[in-house]
Amino acid sequence: MGKENPVQLNKSSIATVKKRKSYMQQNIWLYIFLIPGLVYFIVFNYVPLYGIVIAFQDFNPIAGIAGSKFVGLENFRLLFQSDNFKSIFRNSIWISVLRLLWGFPIPIFIAIILNEIQMKKFCKFSQTVLYMPHFISWVVLAGIIVNLLSPANGGVNKFLELLGHEPIAFLQSEKYFRSVLVISDIWKEAGWGAIVYIAAISGIDVEMFEAAKMDGATVMQKIRYITLPSIVPTITVLFILRLGSLLRNGFEQIFMLYNPLVFKVADVFETYTYRIGLKQGQFGFATAVGLFQSVVGFALVITTNKLSKKYGEGGIW
3-class SS at 268?
coil
* pTM for the whole structure: 0.80
3-class SS at 168?
coil
CB 238 within 8 A of CB 195: no
CA atoms in the 13 A half-sphere facing the CB of 295? 9
- Domain 85-310 falls under CATH 1.10.3720.10: yes
CA atoms in the 13 A half-sphere facing the CB of 264? 6
CB 227 within 8 A of CB 201: yes
Cα(145)–Cα(96) distance, integer angstroms: 20
Phi-psi region of 41 (alpha: psi -120 to 50; beta: other; left: phi over 0): alpha
What secondary structure letter does DSSP report for 27? T
pLDDT tens digits, the chain, 317 residues: what are they?
445 555 454 555 666 666 667 777 778 888 888 899 999 999 998 888 888 898 898 888 888 888 888 888 898 998 888 888 888 999 999 999 999 999 999 999 999 998 888 888 888 888 888 889 999 999 999 999 999 998 888 888 888 888 888 888 889 888 999 999 999 999 999 988 898 999 899 888 888 888 888 888 888 888 888 899 999 888 988 888 888 888 888 888 999 998 888 888 988 988 888 888 778 888 888 888 888 888 888 888 888 888 777 766 666 67
- The residue length of the chain stands at 317
CB 204 within 8 A of CB 214: no
Cα(315)–Cα(302) distance, integer angstroms: 10
What secondary structure letter does DSSP report for 132? G
Count the neighbouring beta carbons within 10 Å of the beta carbon of residue 215.
8
The distance in angstroms from the start CA to the end CA of the chain is: 34
Strands 69-70 and 57-58: antiparallel
